[in-house]
Amino acid sequence: MENFVSVPPEPNGACHDVAAGSAYEIPAGVAHMLRNKSSGYLEHLVFALPPFNPNDVYLRDQKLSPGKTYPLSLPEAEDCFDGAKILSYAFSRPDLSIAYGWVMNDPARRKQPHRHKKSTEFVYVVEGKGFIEIDRVRHPLESGDWIRIDPETEHGLFNEAPEDLVVVCICSPAFQMEDVRHR
């Protein structure tokens, strides 16, 4: 295997092979790096919880290069059609989109369930409690839950708790408003 993840980097840490479909959880504070030793691309997705913040990144040798900055940025939070507040990311290769979202317990923001004609949607619950309504049946949600929603399946997220329900939603193919249908 030519591609591997080092957690933490050599010489003190172990190296782990990665292949398509591999997933690693890297706790906060653990030095890590991803190396591509192949001649092609090593396409990968990174989920950062809480959301990625450039000021949260430290290089192992940062003491040797103080003041060095890195051109990283976050998108602006926006209102989603379903009432949530989201940070959205879209990618053309692979064809998918990721939204980091906050579902608020605010009746004024509440919307009817919807379905996607083509996209499969995956929802990961980061924190909070709430419900997902799938084909008019409510299921409780809590942190750590993963839900897969197939195309043409009606669904909606609801929060009736004081705290925000924080989720990551992944759509493949990438989210498009034209792909959304309501009851």
Q: Which residues are near Fe ion by CB under 5 A?
A: 121
Of the pair 3, 97, the CB lying nearest Fe ion is at 97
Nearest CB to Fe ion, comparing residues 41 and 146: 146
For the record, the structure tokens of 81 come out as 């059609």
- Closest distance to Fe ion from the beta carbon of 113 (Å): 9
In this structure, the number of other CB atoms found within 10 A of the CB of residue 132 comes to 22
Q: Which is nearer to Fe ion, 121 or 164 (CB)?
A: 121
Least distance (Å) from Fe ion to the CB of residue 23? 23
Nearer to Fe ion among residue 18 and residue 116 (C-beta):
116
Task: Render the burial of 7-20: b for 16+ CB within 10 Å, e for the rest.
Answer: beeeeeeeeeebee
Of the two residues 4 and 175, which places its CB atom closer to Fe ion in the complex? 175
Residue type, 150: D
**Residue 85 Cβ, how far from Fe ion at the closest point, in Å?**
15
**Minimum separation from the CB atom of position 39 to Fe ion (A):** 38
Name the minimum Å distance from CB 140 to Fe ion.
18
Beta strands in the chain (DSSP E): 4-7, 14-17, 33-35, 78-79, 85-91, 96-103, 114-116, 120-127, 129-134, 137-142, 146-149, 155-158, 165-172, 180-182
Q: CB within 8 A of 167, min separation 6: which ones? A: 84, 100, 101, 103, 123, 124, 125, 126, 157
